[in-house]
Amino acid sequence: MKKNISIDYDELLTFVPYKYPNFLVEKVIKFKKNKYIKSLKSVCRDDFFLSGHFFKNPIYPGVLIVEFLAQSAIILLYKSDKKNYKKTFYLAKINFAKFLSTVKPENIMIGKIYIVKNILNSYVFYCKVFVKSKIVCITSFICIKK
């Protein structure tokens, strides 16, 4: 039986091209090489962008939910092949994004990201975000490797 592979924040910082405040993934909960990744992001009341985003009733911006998923997808690609450490990945296209519910301060987002297809240097992903077992976002996007 294989154990779940988790990656904490300090380890993530050793190989991802992001740093605070732009790095949104706090922890990788589960990972399967070339298949999927499950990651976590806690939404904090003092995140700088919440102070002005619907300031009377703050919600986490949808574009940052997609960014959280894209960063998670790139972590999956880095951890699936050590050769990728020398490469840069870019979000090339958002095929669709559906926001089914709002994400509020103090929520914990769990992202589930799956590789659907790999063609040359392009990767197609399908993703869902959950808050308390409720789906709040479904999206698909393409990342490219340069």
CA angle 77, 80, 81 (to 5 degrees): 95
- Mind telling me the catalytic residues? 53
The residue ranges of DSSP E strands in 52-107, in sequence order, are 89-99
CB atoms inside a 10 Å sphere around CB 86: 6
- Give the Cβ contact number of residue 58 at 10 Å: 19
Where are the strands (E) in 4-133, listed by range?
A: 27-32, 36-42, 89-99, 108-119, 122-131
